[in-house]
């Protein structure tokens, strides 16, 4: 174990209120390992439909080929998720604040439902960070992060982490989780629940998926991410403050047809945001620009302060026009099915002075007319 990585692991674990964590090379590795530690061929996982595109691809395409079926619920309600659970379900998965449009999930209700079936809840807490939401306090069992985003805050290093609450009763659900309750042939025939107690899960993530497939975090990246975490509290405060002002400004702008941001009373997530983070809705939002694809492209090209890139969670403001960039190869119905409309702009509002941010948006919206 590298000592710098170990410091990062214990800090993030403490921030989340967990018992231990494992740092890995990227958020996608964290999601992958979090599930591979408890699911194998013949198992399934149940997920909310709104998740980061890369996680969707991992679940829907790669896991399918490994014989792990990803079942996506119709919507994020506990009842829709519950309808997909059976005795082969290894986990329920959701994002606390979902990428790409910032919808809040009802973590407590989903956790209660999952536990009533003896299934753990894995929450991707990347967009919220533990500054806004601590999913373990609402019953989640495992938290994963892309540290590449708000946690690091500078987009200078990839990283991910799996955090264990230590609370899920793996031994009580031995039939569902043979990997934690029967001898592990690849690691000294260890029976994790017997040998490691409350650390059973995270010990298996470290000694089986990580040890055998090697998505280790570079200690230098751990150092950079640790520098970022030192300012996380202040940055998140400013991201939320700025984003709230931007969302209100956009909602009243004649060039804007719709805005999705959980800090707005018009948002279906508004009440959940009040419950889970006191209304602080992070920096991620989406809006529709009048004039569709053409106006979207013009707006995007006119931006000066907002960086045109598809990462999220940098200290600097970021914008994406998915229809002309990440989703350019899709058209019509395909584009619609992916949840991306031609007029949709995604913003990840940074910590610059709010006057500069608004001025940039105003000039780019005028240029798009
Ligand atoms: C919510 C969420 N989870 C996981 C990831 C994957 O993280 P990484 O880019 O560090 O692999 C991302 C990346 O955008 C994300 O937005």
Compute, in angstroms, the gap from residue 52 CA to the centroid of ligand 1.
7
- What is the reported pLDDT for 337? 66
State how far Cα 132 lies from the chain centre.
13
Report the C-alpha gap between 46 and 59 in whole angstroms: 10
Residue nearest to atom 7 of ligand 1 (CA): 27
Q: Are residues 172 and 37 in the same domain?
A: yes
Return the H-helix or E-strand segment holding 146: strand 142-146
Give the range of the structural domain holding residue 342, as residue numbers without chain letter: 232-367
Q: What is the pLDDT of residues 99-116, one digit of tens each?
A: 878 999 999 999 999 999
The last residue of a domain, from among 202, 227, 252 = 227
Tell me how many domains the chain contains.
Answer: 2
State the CATH number of the domain containing residue 181: 3.40.640.10
Whether omega for the bond prior to residue 240 falls within 30 degrees of 0, making it cis, is no
Residue nearest to atom 10 of ligand 1 (CA): 27
Q: Are residues 261 and 125 in the same domain?
A: no
pLDDT of 27 strictly over 80: yes
Q: What is the pLDDT of residues 208-234, one digit of tens each?
A: 999 999 999 999 999 999 999 999 999
Q: What is the pLDDT of residues 180-208, one digit of tens each?
A: 999 999 999 999 999 999 999 999 999 99
Report the C-alpha gap between 192 and 171 in whole angstroms: 9
Tokens (6 digits) for 320: 């994406």
Q: Are residues 253 and 342 in the same domain?
A: yes
Ligand 1 atom with minimal separation from the 95 CA: 1
Q: What is the pLDDT of residues 114-152, one digit of tens each?
A: 999 999 999 999 999 999 999 999 999 999 999 999 999
Task: Give the chain's mean pLDDT.
Answer: 96
Q: Are residues 138 and 267 in the same domain?
A: no
Q: Are residues 222 and 243 in the same domain?
A: no
- What is the reported pLDDT for 324? 84
Compute, in angstroms, the gap from residue 111 CA to the centroid of ligand 1.
22
Compute, in angstroms, the gap from residue 49 CA to the centroid of ligand 1.
16
Compute, in angstroms, the gap from residue 128 CA to the centroid of ligand 1.
12
- What is the reported pLDDT for 345? 95
**Which stretches within 182-231 are classed as H helix?**
192-196, 200-205, 211-213, 219-229
Report the C-alpha gap between 130 and 94 in whole angstroms: 16
pLDDT of 3 strictly over 90: yes
pTM: 0.97
- What is the reported pLDDT for 323? 85
Q: Are residues 278 and 317 in the same domain?
A: yes
Q: What is the DSSP secondary structure assignment for residue 49, as one 8-state letter?
A: S
Return the H-helix or E-strand segment holding 346: strand 344-348
CA quadruple 53, 347, 345, 244: dihedral sign: positive
pLDDT band at 173 (very low <50, low <70, confident <90, very high): very high
Q: Is 143 in the pocket of ligand 1 (CB under 6 A)?
A: no
State the CATH number of the domain containing residue 276: 3.90.1150.10
- What is the reported pLDDT for 5? 98
Mean pLDDT of 335-343: 78
Tokens (6 digits) for 271: 């009440």
Compute, in angstroms, the gap from residue 158 CA to the centroid of ligand 1.
9
- What is the reported pLDDT for 322? 85
Q: Is 157 in the pocket of ligand 1 (CB under 6 A)?
A: no
The last residue of a domain, from among 227, 248, 274 = 227
Pocket test for ligand 1, best of 122, 126, 145 (most atoms within 8 A of CB): 126
Q: Are residues 240 and 202 in the same domain?
A: no
Q: Are residues 213 and 239 in the same domain?
A: no
pLDDT band at 50 (very low <50, low <70, confident <90, very high): confident
The last residue of a domain, from among 227, 255, 289 = 227
Asked if residues 126 and 27 have their Cβ atoms less than 8 Å apart, the reply is yes
Q: What is the pLDDT of residues 76-86, one digit of tens each?
A: 999 999 999 99
- What is the reported pLDDT for 207? 98
pLDDT of 35 strictly over 80: yes
Compute, in angstroms, the gap from residue 188 CA to the centroid of ligand 1.
33
In this prediction, what percent of the chain has a pLDDT beyond 90?
91
pLDDT band at 294 (very low <50, low <70, confident <90, very high): very high
Q: Are residues 166 and 92 in the same domain?
A: yes
- What is the reported pLDDT for 331? 67
Kindly give, in sequence order, each residue whose CB lies less than 8 Å from that of residue 366, ignoring residues fewer than 6 positions away: none
Report the C-alpha gap between 118 and 235 in whole angstroms: 37
Q: What is the pLDDT of residues 254-288, one digit of tens each?
A: 999 999 999 999 999 999 999 999 999 999 999 99
pLDDT of 351 strictly over 80: yes
Q: Are residues 70 and 153 in the same domain?
A: yes
Distances (CA, A) of 63 to 42, 84, 196, 212, 217: 11, 17, 28, 18, 23
- Quote the crossing angle between the two packed helices 219-229 and 3-16, to the nearest 10°: 40
Q: Are residues 348 and 334 in the same domain?
A: yes
Q: Are residues 24 and 160 in the same domain?
A: yes
Q: Is 312 in the pocket of ligand 1 (CB under 6 A)?
A: yes
């Amino acid at each position: 174990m590298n000592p710098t990585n170990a410091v990062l692991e214990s800090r993030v674990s403490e921030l989340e209120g967990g018992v231990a964590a494992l740092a890995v090379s990227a958020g996608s590795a964290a999601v992958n390992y979090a599930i591979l530690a408890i699911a194998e061929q013949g198992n399934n996982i149940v997920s909310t439909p709104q998740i980061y595109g890369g996680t969707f691809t991992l679940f829907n395409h790669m896991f399918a080929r490994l014989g792990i079926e990803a079942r996506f619920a119709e919507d994020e309600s506990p009842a829709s998720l519950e309808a997909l659970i059976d005795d082969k379900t290894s986990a329920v998965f959701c994002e606390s604040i979902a990428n790409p449009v910032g919808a809040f999930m009802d973590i407590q209700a989903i956790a209660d439902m999952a536990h009533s079936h003896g299934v753990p809840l894995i929450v991707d807490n990347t967009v919220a960070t533990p500054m806004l939401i601590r999913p373990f306090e609402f019953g989640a069992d495992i938290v994963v992060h892309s540290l590449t985003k708000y946690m690091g805050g500078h987009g200078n290093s990839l990283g991910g982490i799996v955090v264990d609450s230590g609370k899920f009763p793996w031994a009580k659900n031995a039939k569902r989780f043979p990997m934690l309750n029967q001898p592990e042939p690849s690691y000294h025939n260890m029976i994790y629940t017997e040998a490691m107690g409350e650390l059973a899960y995270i010990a298996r993530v470290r000694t089986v998926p990580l040890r055998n497939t090697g998505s280790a975090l570079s200690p230098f990246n751990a150092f950079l991410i640790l520098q970022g975490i030192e300012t996380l509290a202040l940055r998140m405060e400013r991201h939320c403050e700025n984003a709230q002002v931007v969302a209100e400004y956009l909602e009243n702008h004649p060039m804007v047809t719709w805005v999705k941001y959980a800090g707005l009373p018009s948002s279906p997530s508004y009440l959940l945001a009040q419950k889970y983070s006191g209304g602080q809705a992070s920096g991620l939002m989406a809006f529709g620009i009048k004039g569709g694809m053409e106006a979207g492209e013009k707006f995007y090209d006119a931006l000066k302060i907002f960086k045109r890139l598809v990462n999220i969670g940098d200290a600097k403001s970021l914008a994406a026009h998915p229809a002309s960039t990440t989703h350019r190869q899709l058209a019509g119905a395909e584009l619609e099915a992916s949840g991306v409309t031609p007029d949709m702009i995604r913003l990840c509002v940074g910590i610059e002075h709010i006057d500069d941010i608004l001025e940039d948006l105003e000039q780019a919206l005028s240029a798009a007319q």
